[in-house]
Homo-oligomer: A and B are copies of this chain.
Amino acid sequence: MQNKSTQRVTKKRKEISHDRILEVAARAIRRSGYDGTGVADIMKEAGLTHGGFYAHFESRDTLLAEAGDRAGAESVAIASRIVAAAPAGQAIRALMEAYLSAEHINAIETGCPVSALGSEMPRQSPEVRRAATLHIKEMIDLVARQLPDWGQPQAHEQAMALLCALIGTTMIARAVDDPALSEALCAATMKQFNPATE
């Protein structure tokens, strides 16, 4: 038996590797998709060898589930920070501008996992879909709280429609091979939900 300090240090070491693998995987799935993400690639990118993977995760599937969950949680956290930093009454506009910005469109590895992985979701394991659904609901609530008529049922509806539009626009802007069209799509959605601004 070991004393508590040993256990803590031991845990820490493994936790660091576990965390690094997870962080790499959270980016890899958004870059290469669930199907396109292999154990060997992730371990190499994490600076480890492929065989050691199973000391950290039960299977490739559990890693992908945890990685998706982490990506979703981080995305909600980023959105919360944008809302908190926005001037009063400007939270929605700030969220939309961040979401439809060229930086977000070009940062698929670290951006919203729904626009990066959405069309692969119907095939994923129940755990993956459950986590994704949870984070989507969190995001809807976050958006609804920033709307002028928060509390009324229509706020929730408006939040859902806005989020679907933002995610769809981002996904399509990344899908097409015509940069001018990508920009036009973002501008069109911006205008549609924010008619006041040019």
Copies held by the complex: 2
> How far is it, in angstroms, between the C-alpha of A36 and the C-alpha of B177 when the chains are bound?
23
Interface residues of A (CB under 8 A from B): 32-33, 35-36, 108, 114-123, 126, 129-130, 132-133, 136-137, 156-158, 160-169, 171-172, 174-178, 181, 184-185, 187-189, 191-193
Contact of A119 among B120, B129, B181, B193 (CB under 8 A): B120
Q: Are A172 and B129 in contact (CB under 8 A)?
A: no
Kindly list chain B residues whose C-beta atoms are within 8 Å of the C-beta of A187.
Answer: 157
> How far is it, in angstroms, between the C-alpha of A115 and the C-alpha of B114 when the chains are bound?
12
Contact of A120 among B120, B132, B176, B191 (CB under 8 A): B120
Kindly list chain B residues whose C-beta atoms are within 8 Å of the C-beta of A136.
Answer: 172, 175-176, 181
Kindly list chain B residues whose C-beta atoms are within 8 Å of the C-beta of A156.
Answer: 188
* CB within 8 Å for A119 and B117 given contacts A164-B165, A164-B188, A176-B132: yes
> How far is it, in angstroms, between the C-alpha of A115 and the C-alpha of B133 when the chains are bound?
17
* CB within 8 Å for A123 and B168 given contacts A118-B175, A176-B129, A187-B157: no
> How far is it, in angstroms, between the C-alpha of A115 and the C-alpha of B167 when the chains are bound?
11
Contact of A133 among B36, B130, B178 (CB under 8 A): B178
* CB within 8 Å for A177 and B33 given contacts A119-B118, A188-B161: no
